[in-house]
Amino acid sequence: MDLLNTLVDKGLRRELPTREEALAVLATSDDDLLDVVAAAGKVRRQWFGRRVKLNYLVNLKSGLCPEDCSYCSQRLGSTAEILKYTWLKPDDASQAAAAGVAGGAKRVCLVASGRGPTDRDVDRVSKTIEAIKEQNEGVEVCACLGLLSEGQAERLREAGADAYNHNLNTSEGTYGDITTTHTYADRVDTVQKAHAAGLSACSGLIAGMGESDEDLVDVVFALRELDPDSVPVNFLIPFEGTPLAKEWNLTPQRALRILAMVRFVCPDVEVRLAGGREVHLRTLQPLALHLVNSIFLGDYLTSEGQAGKTDLEMIADAGFEVEGADTTTLPAHRTEAASGGCGSHGGGGCAPCGDSAEDTGQQAAGTPGARPDLVAVRRRGAGTGLAPNA
């Protein structure tokens, strides 16, 4: 297929596809799906080989969020029966992180619900970062605390944070349909603050909220322009008790096409398969490893993931290997150009209110493909007395 040959050539040169080419990937048929995966897989292997980076989420503060993000089980007005608790103590958070590191995670993502941190919250998280770094040599720490005020990104970096996550989630044109308590511009501003402070910027999207193909391409092109080092791709988890509970329109094939499009647009960036992969990719999860080079291990913020042992077996059975702590994730041209934590990036990546790798597909219950039985509320790990899934 000429389209795929063109996209591979551009991906190997880190050249941005046209919008028409990106839209064409989303419009390919199921008959062409394996060809699309194989083509995007060539680009993935060029920049990341067969390595898979493991990330582990620690939910520092669950629920009780004043924001109204429609996709989120922790939102204002949510009746989802999720765990609710206030800030974990630094030692408790460090213990939770250690379980993920023991399971092979290279990065720990510290997430807290809320609009954004107070200065006192930044102090609290800084102590948590220091505790994790002291007890887990070589681990990366990414903070995801919401909208940042002036100077907060710098303080987090001084405490030892390596990265900051704040997802764009959807296109600028449809953002107001999903959230009204803050703006798309607010999110862009926080990503830029993190980048300017020398933190590795992490910003991604949620697919499956009713958006069009054009909306998906818009947000991925916007991410390419923001130039984060990592781009998490979440698929909506339609939690009962949220406004998007009946949105079940994703199929495994559609999810794979979205991941392929992201890889073609962001060829040399850490593309992370995040929340909703078990719900929407199901038995096709191993195929996604040919498109992404990073996944979350175990559970998410308020939902359960598949067993950590199953994640590791899936990676090995698909012919990939877990990336070691002594390996640099990003290609040399990005790391060498970095001044601080993020790099250039020539040719031209965890979130507030629980939108990081989590409470984030479509097909109303009863429609073919809907799997509400796979939406399991997290009842173990951080904030509970039960062992974590890692």
Catalytic residues, which ones? 65, 69, 72, 109, 142, 202, 272
- Classify residue 176 as exposed, middle or buried by CB count within 10 Å of its CB (0-12, 13-18, 19+): exposed
The alpha carbon of 37 is separated from its chain's Cα centroid by a whole number of angstroms, namely 20
- Rounded distance, CA 47 to CA 259, Å? 16
Q: Which residues contact 276 (CB under 8 A, 6 or more apart)?
A: 208, 234, 235, 236, 237, 250, 360, 361
- Report CA-CA distances (Å) from 362 to 59, 65, 133, 186, 341: 25, 24, 39, 27, 36
Cβ burial 134-152 (10 Å sphere, 16+ → b, else e): eebeebbbbbbbbbbeeeb
> Which residue, chain included where needed, has tokens 């993000």?
69
Q: Whole-angstrom distance between the N-terminal and C-terminal Cα of the chain?
A: 41
